[in-house]
Structure 1
Amino acid sequence: MSNACGVDFGTSNSTVGWVRPGQPTMLQLEDGKPTLPSVVFFNADDDEVSYGRAALADYLAGYEGRLMRSLKSLLGTSLMEGQTEVAGRALPFRSLLSQFIGELKRRGEQAAGRSFDSVVLGRPVHFVDDDAAADQTAEDTLAGIARAVGFRHIAFQYEPIAAAFDYESQISREELVLIADIGGGTSDFSLVRLSPERAAKAERREDILATGGVHIGGTDFDKYLSLSAVMPLLGYGGQLLSGIEIPSSYYFNLATWHTINLAYTKKMQAQLAELVRDAREPDKLLRLQALIEERAGHWLAMQVEEAKIALSGADSTLLNLERLSPPTALDVPRTLFEQSISQLVNTVGQTVGGMLADAGLKPEQVDTIFFTGGSSGVGLLRERIGALAPGARKVEGDLFGSIGAGLALDAVRKFG
């Protein structure tokens, strides 16, 4: 058996895959599940660090501390070289990512009963849109972190290509497949020729007809649903007595997973106290102020995320905001959700359409669209992508495991 594994470090969830004869590829990382939510909680009460579902549970239980989520979104940004305050100490964001990826490696090795010295890491087609230098910096940063936590041999594979390798292990004839990987932070695509015979080849470059991607994913859908449905209750879009609109930065920070903690700074709270005095609707700003003082931004984001998931299969959902002051129950229709993300979905559709055109392919040449990634269940998005190749067979993979399984297969090819 190989000493190489595949690691899918995701915006929302992460996995570790390892090929072993006659056994599941995906290793169990928490509570018998193959996914570890990409979450870290620094518990100030007990001076402990928890990860994944345990981190979310500790936060929701009311322990004092800092919750950090969507860590992958830091890669390629200026924040990556910065730091945040945890329990009165400065914590570099690079160290934060190292802690989580080190924990991911440790849990994978514990589940496998052996150490891993080689890894194929998944990466989006673009960590950063339209900036090749920042994109390369993001990959280099991730490689450096992987090396620091103990991996000696490191390779990368595009996440949609990894998903293609997983799908290829399930087919019996050649297919031209559009892989649609809609994750928490990015939407990534590839057009690949797949077959059992091609799977035996070490070099697959000629089978990859095109790749494309855009920095839009599930956390963006969360953000725009929050801005449309919830943030107006807290004053978003309102005005001061002078007629000036209340700054939107407070609301964008609260609606964006990896910037929620920015709303908790003393500077932001002092500015907000001044705005309350000058607001035309001070009751909404007081509600926002109370939410921030309670550091309940992550709780609010979780409620919105649950609503998004529910609206992928229902016409409406009830958003229970019991921690707002006063408590509020909000009926959210799917139409509002779809309106809030329509521009994002159009951008994703244009990306896929452009990739097909660049490859010189007609829609009828695509045999299959293979959907993977936790956000590929959003109906409007699936419809938009499916309409670009209406005759193609639509297949749903393991939404959280296809990439990790494909990376594990690639690790065997690359490292033996």
Structure 2
Amino acid sequence: MTQFCGLDFGTSNSTLGRVDAEGHPQLVALENGQKTIPSVLFFGFEDDDVHFGREAVAEYVTGADGRLMRSLKSVLGTALYADTTRVKARRLGFGEIIGLFVGEMKRRAEAELGHELTQVVMGRPVHFVDDDEDADRQAQHQLEAAVRAQGFRDIQFQFEPIAAALDYERQAGSEKLALIVDLGGGTSDFSLVRVSPDRAGHPDRSQDILATAGVHIGGTDFDRLLAMSRVMPKLGLGSRTLDGKRHLPVAPYFDLSTWHRINRLYDAKAIRDLRSTMREAREAERVETFVMLVEERLGHRLIGAVEDAKIALSDRESLAFTFPVRDRAIETDMTVAQLGEALAASIERLEMTIGETLLQAGVVAGAVDSLILTGGSTLVPAVAGRLQALFPEAEVVRTDVLGSVGLGLALEAKRVFG
């Protein structure tokens, strides 16, 4: 009976893996037989209960009164971590909220497995926070404290792309030089790793990790950029005041497009400021729709619809986007080309970070044998196309985009604790 596991707490989705008696890693079903659980909580004001995962999303979408929390990983190491959020009469810190979610994952896994879990290898991005080592260390400490408070006694960390490499290595037939591309909900990480069946059981793999680099760009940033490009102009972004002397403030549109900032707009002062902006706006009707949307607390639902549109553009060229707000609708078109244009600067940053990874290792792109793609954002056409163009000779390996990190962390947990 193993008391260890690997836990991938993701920006958008989370998994928990363990190794079975035959040494095979498996993901534990955490929600109605599903092996992934969306990293979402909903504090219900009507039933005074906390809902998790798909159930949390369903509560919110059906219009239940409460507070939705998502993209919690994105606040680690940032100034936002010190903020609190009001849940009826209580104010909760982000560490407590993250702990609630991790604790629920632990409880569900223990119920599924029939025994306690006390040892865990947690996944972490290469950089929680870009270009700030102190903030990055602080982010790991914050996550460790939240996890330890839920009853895990022994906690280790492993880079998420390295975990993905461990999962891939089980099926590698020979030694390869692999670039692991892990594009998650909040971060993008790159690791150049030697993988082979012979190396898989070695306790120290540090010499096989030739280089790692990461950047704080991920799927939720893609959602924000698509929303800012195609949706927010329909709510007044880019328009001017009545006197034509200045543009409307950008900050509220940025907040509405950013998962973990949306709740800020629901404060009474924020709504008063929006109404003031509406009175000064040349295109007041568009801003009025913004005010209505905030009054109805539809922000997360709107960005969820944008995320759905982004995903839909993975296998179609265009779509018509419509989102109802009272007796009105936000309507725009979205195409693969427009998505690529919105993401162009971010894709350039991803490409620069890949270049840094190769430079660290002293390796040219042509020497890479395998391009291992994990994380849901690798499915975005503009991203996938650019990656393949950078490494035209490499074998492209698509892992379980949502589960490979959790499986690799389970293998790492067996090595560390088994």
Answer whether TM exceeds 0.5 for this pair. yes
Is the aligned partner of 1:116 residue 2:127?
Answer: no
Q: What residue in structure 1 maps to residue 207 of structure 2?
A: 206
Paired with 2:347 and 2:111, the residues of 1 have a C-alpha distance of 40
SS at match of 2:240: coil
Paired with 2:115 and 2:381, the residues of 1 have a C-alpha distance of 41
Contact map agreement 1:5 1:407 (CA 8 A) in 2 = yes
Contact map agreement 2:230 2:333 (CA 8 A) in 1 = no
Q: Which moved more, 1:23-32 or 1:77-86?
A: 23-32
SS at match of 1:196: coil
Contact map agreement 1:353 1:388 (CA 8 A) in 2 = no
Superposition deviation, residue 380 in structure 1: 1.1
Is the aligned partner of 1:5 residue 2:11?
Answer: no
Match of 2:297 among 287, 295, 300: 295
Match of 2:401 among 395, 399, 402: 399
SS at match of 1:244: coil
Q: What residue in structure 2 maps to residue 21 of structure 1?
A: 21
Supply the AA of the counterpart residue of 1:331: D
Superposition deviation, residue 21 in structure 1: 3.1
Q: What residue in structure 1 maps to residue 277 of structure 2?
A: 275
Contact map agreement 1:321 1:330 (CA 8 A) in 2 = no
Superposition deviation, residue 322 in structure 1: 2.1
Supply the AA of the counterpart residue of 2:239: G
Superposition deviation, residue 325 in structure 1: 4.5
Q: What residue in structure 2 maps to residue 263 of structure 1?
A: 265
Distance 1:164 1:24, change over 3 A: closer
Paired with 2:236 and 2:84, the residues of 1 have a C-alpha distance of 30
Contact map agreement 2:292 2:325 (CA 8 A) in 1 = no
Runs of 5+ in structure 1 lacking a partner? Answer: none
Q: What residue in structure 2 maps to residue 171 of structure 1?
A: 172
Superposition deviation, residue 172 in structure 1: 1.5
Q: Which moved more, 1:373-382 or 1:324-333?
A: 324-333
Question: Structure 1-normalised TM-score?
Answer: 0.98
SS at match of 1:387: helix
Q: CA RMSD in A?
A: 1.1
Superposition deviation, residue 389 in structure 1: 2.0
Supply the AA of the counterpart residue of 1:299: R
Paired with 1:395 and 1:317, the residues of 2 have a C-alpha distance of 29
Match of 2:248 among 230, 240, 246: 246
Distance 1:17 1:24, change over 3 A: same
Q: What residue in structure 2 maps to residue 184 of structure 1?
A: 185
Supply the AA of the counterpart residue of 1:380: A
Superposition deviation, residue 353 in structure 1: 1.3
Superposition deviation, residue 82 in structure 1: 2.0
Contact map agreement 1:287 1:325 (CA 8 A) in 2 = no
Contact map agreement 2:191 2:213 (CA 8 A) in 1 = yes
Question: Structure 2-normalised TM-score?
Answer: 0.98
Paired with 2:387 and 2:63, the residues of 1 have a C-alpha distance of 41
Is the aligned partner of 1:338 residue 2:340?
Answer: yes
Paired with 2:411 and 2:265, the residues of 1 have a C-alpha distance of 42
Paired with 1:310 and 1:339, the residues of 2 have a C-alpha distance of 17
SS at match of 1:128: coil
Runs of 5+ in structure 2 lacking a partner? Answer: none
SS at match of 2:180: strand
Q: What residue in structure 2 maps to residue 139 of structure 1?
A: 140
Supply the AA of the counterpart residue of 1:34: K
- Give aligned pairs, total: 416
Contact map agreement 1:5 1:411 (CA 8 A) in 2 = yes
Q: What residue in structure 2 maps to residue 307 of structure 1?
A: 309
Distance 1:197 1:324, change over 3 A: farther
Supply the AA of the counterpart residue of 2:16: V
Paired with 1:330 and 1:241, the residues of 2 have a C-alpha distance of 24
Paired with 2:319 and 2:332, the residues of 1 have a C-alpha distance of 8
Paired with 1:269 and 1:363, the residues of 2 have a C-alpha distance of 51
Contact map agreement 1:43 1:49 (CA 8 A) in 2 = yes
Paired with 1:125 and 1:373, the residues of 2 have a C-alpha distance of 14
Superposition deviation, residue 24 in structure 1: 5.9
Residue identity (%): 48
Q: What residue in structure 2 maps to residue 94 of structure 1?
A: 95
Q: What residue in structure 1 maps to residue 235 of structure 2?
A: 234
Q: What residue in structure 2 maps to residue 219 of structure 1?
A: 220
Superposition deviation, residue 87 in structure 1: 1.2
Superposition deviation, residue 272 in structure 1: 1.1
Q: What residue in structure 2 maps to residue 76 of structure 1?
A: 77
Map Cα deviations across residues 162-194 of structure 1 (whole Å, 9 max, x no partner).
000000011121111000000000000101001
